[in-house]
């Protein structure tokens, strides 16, 4: 980058000095020889378009037009110096060294098509001179009427040829013209090289600005969910993939989980843990990006996220670890259904994106973890009373807004004091932890499972009917009853009593929901415990 920048600065000085003189020399030219108006401004592109190069065709067309305009004043000078009627610059078309096109000329407007220029023998002479890297002349009555000199870039790579055409003869004698042609060709090669260097620096600048815009947008997404989703969406855009999945990796535990995914992500990859033996887990452990342009054989290597998931059939796949120091804190998995959709250049964009997102993600995850701990019961891992109260208010509000009903279940361990007195408080803690795990594992992800205090636990069930709440509570009661808690060589059996209450949208008794559930819990205790009352 520094070399390109230095070259661009030199280019700016050389071109500016030359064009200043060229503009003075051509100020009195007739209008048909005056430089054409500057090319229109480049259209604004989104960061993803810049990074993916979606404007490749348009950019190549603009570059060709601008190169023709940049070289035209010099070609006009050459034309006037030697009494030519036209000077053209021919270059190799695309990557085909055998095909030439006219890239710039001394006339007004776009350069003519190579196929319509001159005669067939004249075009063949231009192609021969460019291919053999030799000066060539086409004579008429012993005098050269067309003069051709091969052009090389500043790097020495063949670029094409410069062609001078006269009406009858040139103002410069043939021997002098033979001396001048290599000088003109060398100058055109230098100018073309400097123009390319300038464009490369401009492209790198656009690339950097695009990355900065994405980094800024990611930094503004303070909520972890919003940041994670944005990162997946950006990964799809800048790589050209069809889906992206964000993994969160715990280097100490050698395990991870799916944190977020884009809209088109396969269902089998939308949740669950990430194991160290999987393709993604191995990439996180090794801290190195993996890219498969044709990923159909990946199923033979085992699971993509888990050892036993059988792999996900995909045509193209990349796993891009997100490194914090020497350890991975996560990874972006990008994929497409067809081979060859993902390319190495665009996967590089994904790697840059993952590196940019590290700081924002780390800060967001740390803040989320701090917030979670402030709302989590340290012993059981359930939500605490503060979070329970906030979520209860939210669920009631959403029930009124969207209709339906919600349920509250309050649970209390039976004879818990006897457990503490008989086996000790360590045993009581173990029982609380085991019962909490039974409740947490037995509810939906949208349900809220909290510890209210002591041995009292609660479940908030959004969009749940009375029958659904009673059925869930009974199922959980039976699971707790069947659970034996091992501690200090003994197996402790416990039961729970549960009180259930329902709130239906629009009811007047919103504020009494907790009281009704608590009263039903008291009734369950009074009727002999180990039962559900609603």
Reduced to 3 states, what is the DSSP secondary structure of residue 302? Answer: coil
Q: What is the pLDDT of residue 40?
A: 46
| CA–CA dist 110, 112 (Å, integer) | 6
Q: Are 531 and 447 in contact (CB under 8 A)?
A: no
List the one residue out of 510, 477, 480 whose CA is nearest residue 492.
Answer: 480
Predicted pLDDT at 219: 67
Distance CA 151, CA 77 (A): 17
Q: For residue 478, what is the enclosing H or E element?
A: helix 466-481
Q: Pseudo-torsion of CA 333, 334, 336, 339, nearest 10°?
A: -90
Cβ pair 141, 125 in contact under 8 A: no
Using CA atoms, how far apart are residues 466 and 405, in angstroms rounded to an integer? 8
Strand partners, 236: none
| Residue 15 pLDDT greater than 50, yes or no | no
Q: How far apart are alpha carbons 513 and 406 in whole angstroms? A: 10
What is the tens place of the pLDDT at every residue in 280-295? 999 999 998 988 888 8
Higher-confidence residue of 171 and 337: namely: 171
Token pair in block for residue 158: 């063949």
Residue 23 has pLDDT above 60, yes or no: no
Q: pLDDT by residue (tens digit) across 209-261?
A: 666 777 777 766 667 888 888 889 888 887 888 899 999 999 999 999 999 99
Q: Where are the domains of the chain?
A: 2-38+45-205, 224-374, 385-533
- According to the model, what pLDDT value does residue 483 have? 92
Task: Supply the DSSP string of 424-446, one letter for each residue.
Answer: -HHHHHHHHHHHHHHHHHTS-TT
Cβ–Cβ < 8 Å for 318, 339: no
Strands (E), 110-236: 136-140, 143-152, 158-165
Burial-class residue 64 by CB neighbours within 10 Å (0-12, 13-18, 19+): middle
* Lowest-confidence pick of 27-31, 142-146, 345-349: 27-31
Contacts 24+ apart (CB under 8 A), 355-359: 355/322, 355/323, 356/211, 356/214, 356/215, 356/218, 357/215, 357/218, 357/227, 357/231, 357/322, 358/322, 358/323, 358/324, 358/329
Residues 6 or more apart whose CB falls under 8 angstroms from that of 524 comprise 497, 498, 499, 531, 532, 533
- Decide: 184 and 162 in contact? Cβ < 8 Å: yes
Maximum distance among all Cα pairs of the chain, rounded to whole angstroms:
125
Structure tokens at 495: 């039961």
Residues in CB range of 70: below 8 A, 6 or more apart? 15, 104, 191, 195
Q: Strand pairing of 136-140 and 96-105?
A: unpaired
Residues 163-201: tens digit of each pLDDT: 999 998 899 999 999 999 999 999 999 998 888 888 777
β-strand 496-504 against 532-533: which pairing, if any?
A: parallel
Is the model's pLDDT at 302 over the cut of 80?
A: no
> Tell me, what's the pLDDT at 74?
94
Collapsing DSSP to helix, strand or coil, 272 comes out as: coil
Alpha-carbon distance of 522 to 412, in angstroms, equals: 9
In contact, 51 and 132? CB cutoff 8 Å? no
- CB neighbourhood size of 365 (10 A): 17
Alpha helices in 83-164 (DSSP H): 120-132
Dist. CA 170–CA 444, nearest whole Å: 89
- Nearest residue to 317 via CA among 338, 303, 286: 338
- Nearest Cα neighbor of 335 from 354, 318, 312, 310 is 318
Are residues 67 and 103 in contact, defined by beta-carbon separation less than 8 angstroms? yes
Taking the whole predicted model, whether its pTM rises above 0.85 is answered as no
Side-chain-facing half-sphere of 28: CA atoms under 13 Å:
2
Domains 2-38+45-205 and 224-374 agree in fold? yes
pLDDT of res. 7: 41
Nearest to residue 504, comparing CAs of 408, 409, 411, 410? 408
CATH, domain range 224-374: 3.30.450.40
Q: In this structure, which topology does domain 385-533 adopt according to CATH?
A: Alpha-Beta Plaits (3.30.70)
Q: What is the mean pLDDT of the chain?
A: 83
Active-site residue numbers? 455
pLDDT at 322 over 70: yes
* Bridge partners, 247 (sequence order): 258, 331
Q: At the topology level of CATH, where does 2-38+45-205 sit?
A: Beta-Lactamase (3.30.450)
């Amino acid at each position: 980058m520094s070399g390109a920048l230095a070259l661009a600065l030199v280019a700016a000085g050389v071109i500016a000095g030359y064009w200043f003189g060229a503009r003075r020399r051509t100020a009195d030219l007739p209008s048909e020889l005056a430089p054409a108006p500057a090319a229109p401004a480049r259209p604004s592109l989104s960061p993803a378009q810049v990074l993916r190069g979606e404007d490749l065709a348009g950019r190549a067309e603009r570059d060709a037009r601008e190169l023709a305009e940049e070289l035209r004043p010099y070609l006009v000078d050459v034309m006037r110096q030697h009494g030519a009627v036209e000077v053209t610059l021919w270059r190799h078309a695309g990557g085909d060294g055998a095909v030439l096109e006219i890239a710039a000329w001394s006339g007004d407007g776009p350069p003519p098509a190579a196929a319509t220029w001159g005669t067939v023998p004249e075009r063949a002479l231009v192609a021969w001179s460019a291919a053999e890297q030799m000066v060539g002349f086409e004579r008429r009555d012993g005098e050269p009427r067309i003069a051709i000199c091969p052009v090389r870039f500043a790097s020495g790579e063949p670029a094409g040829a410069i062609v001078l055409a006269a009406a009858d003869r040139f103002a410069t004698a043939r021997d002098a013209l033979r001396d001048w042609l290599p000088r003109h060709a060398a100058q055109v090669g230098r100018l073309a090289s400097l123009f390319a260097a300038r464009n490369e620096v401009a492209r790198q600048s656009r690339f950097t600005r695009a990355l900065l815009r994405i980094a800024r947008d990611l930094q503004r997404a303070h909520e972890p969910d919003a940041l994670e989703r944005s990162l997946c969406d950006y990964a799809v855009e800048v790589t050209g993939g069809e889906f992206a999945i964000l993994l969160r990796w715990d280097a100490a535990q050698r395990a991870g989980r799916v944190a977020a995914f884009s809209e088109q992500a396969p269902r089998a990859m939308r949740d669950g843990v990430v194991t160290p033996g999987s393709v993604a887990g191995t990439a996180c452990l090794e801290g190195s990006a993996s890219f498969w342009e044709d990923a159909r054989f990946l199923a033979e290597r085992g699971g993509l996220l888990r050892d036993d998931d059988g792999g996900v059939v995909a045509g193209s796949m990349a796993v891009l670890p997100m490194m914090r120091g020497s350890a991975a804190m996560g990874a972006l998995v990008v994929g497409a259904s067809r081979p060859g959709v993902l390319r190495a250049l665009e996967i590089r964009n994904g790697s840059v994106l993952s590196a940019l997102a590290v700081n924002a993600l780390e800060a967001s995850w740390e803040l989320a973890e701090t917030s979670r701990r402030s709302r989590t019961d340290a012993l059981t891992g359930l939500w605490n009373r503060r979070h329970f109260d906030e979520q209860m208010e939210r669920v009631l509000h959403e029930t009124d807004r969207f209709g339906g009903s919600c349920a509250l279940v309050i649970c209390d361990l039976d004879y818990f004091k006897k457990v503490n007195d008989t086996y000790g408080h360590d045993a009581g803690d173990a029982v609380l932890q085991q019962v909490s795990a039974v409740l947490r594992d037995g509810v939906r992800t949208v349900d809220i499972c909290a510890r209210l205090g002591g041995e009292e636990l609660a479940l908030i069930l959004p969009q749940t009917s009375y029958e659904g709440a009673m059925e869930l509570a009974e199922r959980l009661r039976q699971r707790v009853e069947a659970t034996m808690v091992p501690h200090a060589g003994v197996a402790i059996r416990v039961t729970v009593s549960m009180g259930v209450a329902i709130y239906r949208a629009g009811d007047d008794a919103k504020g009494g929901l907790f009281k009704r559930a608590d009263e039903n819990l008291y009734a369950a205790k009074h009727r002999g415990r180990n039962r559900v009352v609603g």
